[in-house]
Chain A
Amino acid sequence: MKQALVLGIVVAVAAAPWLPAAAQTPDPTAAEFDKFREIMEQDNPAELFEVKGEELWRARRGPKNASLERCDLGLGPGVVQGAYAQMPRYFADAGRVMDAEARIVHCMVTLQGFKFEELAKQPFSSLVRTPDPVSLVTYVAAQSRGMKIAAPRGHPKERAAYETGKAIYFYRAGAFDFSCASCHGVDGKRIRTQPLPNFTKPEQAIRAVQGWPGYRMTGGVMHSLQWRLNDCFRQQRFPEPGYTSETLSALLTYLTVNANGHVYRGPGIKR
């Protein structure tokens, strides 16, 4: 019901006569969209996935018939409150830095006995299917709503992940010579009418974190940052990064640390 309502609004907006005119001057377009998003966020479809994620978190599932309630998201086994705002972080039991979804998948494998290869087969949402880790990360993210982003920098591996992520961000290669910074390296640019945040700056880096996981109106599905970065690399004309790989955690460390100190508003809505 809620989803049908949302779809109706999306269609109405897509057909709205003011959009093409506003597209000539991008800032009014962005402003209009922000207004629209504010209204949408009061009744965000992401909440449906948050509820689903909480059920999944508590349910005994997988070959080991275990719940995720013993999963350590960095603040101790079972502590979900505030954990998302303090990731990516180094996890000694995995020997690497992990972002939230990487950690959740790690727990699904180690605690519940799911096979990573199975989870990585179709990790992104479609109209007919939302993978469990996407709902789970939405639930976990929601438990950091209103908290300050505080990705830790204390462990040497966390500092190395930041620097490695930064180097990946600026690494130009591939068929079109693109890096992340090709689109997100200077202020005030846009692709078509889509504004391009410069994530190297703290006040803009929050836009890499804010609204994710997000209910994306293009396609009408719930997506996490794992999907977002995967699609960036597709458009960067790179090969495909592995799901929940260290590369993505390192890149997310760079982006999140740059956004440290800003308040996270919880799962959101994306264009």
Chain B
Amino acid sequence: MRLASAGVLAIAAAFLASCATPQRDYRPDALAMMKRDFHARGIAGVDRLNEDGVQAACNKHADDPPQAVADKLQKEQLAGINLPADGKLLGDWKSGEKIAQSGRGMMWSDKGGDGGSCYNCHQIGPRESSFGTVGPSLYQFAKLRGYGADIQRYVYGKIYNAKAYSLCSQMPRFGHVGALTEGQMKDLTALLMDPASPVNQ
């Protein structure tokens, strides 16, 4: 009995000690250091070091923010997605394949946006065996999920701003940051959604 209470006391003491010396947050130090050390090069300005609201929430909560925070920010991101005015979401899948292949865009060595870097992280078409595995396989995307208008909108929206659906997704926000044009996003949507695309064979 006495031993047990001594044990409880020891645990309580350890708990208090851990409260007294909280883990210091080094993120402000890190950001200050980066702001001293980085310089603009090409299209990559030093403003890129600043977090926007989504990045700040994900950084602060190690990519797992409280549900209420995530819901609010996701709603804002979703509201910022501009669907094509003509209502057509499917472009040319052949062009989409080229955009998916290109790993260029938004680096200081690039002129601007360019490719989608899609194969860097995803399996997509059946002929490309050199694909990454950071994201899920998209092979037979519509064949498995259907070709409906709602899924077309989801695909276009996900490419436009992946954070509207999963706040701390590792996927870039291609439309949101202007890395891809409306036409390019339509072509990529077609690559996944066109029944004639090799992806769905």
Interface positions of A (Cβ within 8 A of B): 20, 23-24, 160, 163-168, 170-179, 182-183, 188-193, 196, 234-235, 237-242, 245-248, 250
Q: Are A163 and B33 in contact (CB under 8 A)?
A: no
Which of B38, B49, B120 contacts A191, CB < 8 Å? B120
Could you show 29 A-B contacts with beta carbons less than 8 Å apart?
A24-B129, A160-B29, A163-B24, A163-B26, A163-B29, A164-B26, A167-B27, A167-B29, A172-B51, A172-B55, A173-B49, A173-B50, A174-B48, A175-B48, A175-B179, A176-B106, A177-B58, A177-B163, A177-B170, A182-B170, A192-B120, A192-B130, A193-B130, A234-B109, A239-B40, A240-B40, A241-B37, A242-B39, A247-B33
* B34 → A minimal CB distance (Å): 5
Q: Are B29 and A239 in contact (CB under 8 A)?
A: no
A160 to B29, alpha carbons, bound, how many Å? 9
Residues of A within 8 A of B24 (CB): 163
Interface positions of B (Cβ within 8 A of A): 24-27, 29-31, 33-34, 36-41, 44-46, 48-51, 54-55, 58-59, 62, 106-109, 119-121, 129-134, 163, 170, 172-173, 177, 179
A168 to B31, alpha carbons, bound, how many Å? 8
Contacts A171-B59, A240-B39 known; list 6 others, CB within 8 Å. Answer: A171-B30, A178-B172, A188-B133, A238-B49, A239-B46, A247-B37
A163 to B26, alpha carbons, bound, how many Å? 6
Q: Are B44 and A238 in contact (CB under 8 A)?
A: yes
A18 to B40, alpha carbons, bound, how many Å? 42
Closest residue to A25 on the B side, CB-wise?
B129
Q: Are B58 and A238 in contact (CB under 8 A)?
A: no
Which of A171, A183, A242 contacts B27, CB < 8 Å? A171
Closest residue to B41 on the A side, CB-wise?
A240
Total contacts A-B at CB 8 Å: 131
Residues of A within 8 A of B33 (CB): 164, 168, 246-247, 250
Which of A23, A173, A242 contacts B48, CB < 8 Å? A173
Q: Are A189 and B133 in contact (CB under 8 A)?
A: yes
Q: Are A239 and B44 in contact (CB under 8 A)?
A: yes
A239 to B44, alpha carbons, bound, how many Å? 5
* B63 → A minimal CB distance (Å): 8
| Given the contacts A240-B38, A240-B44, A242-B37, A175 and B106 also touching, CB distance less than 8 Å | yes
Q: Are A172 and B44 in contact (CB under 8 A)?
A: no
* B40 → A minimal CB distance (Å): 5
- Of A190, A239, A240, chain B has the most CB atoms within 10 Å of the CB of A239
Q: Are A172 and B59 in contact (CB under 8 A)?
A: yes
* A173 → B minimal CB distance (Å): 5
Q: Are A167 and B30 in contact (CB under 8 A)?
A: yes
Residues of A within 8 A of B45 (CB): 239
Residues of B within 8 A of A170 (CB): 59, 62
Residues of B within 8 A of A193 (CB): 130
Q: Are A240 and B48 in contact (CB under 8 A)?
A: no
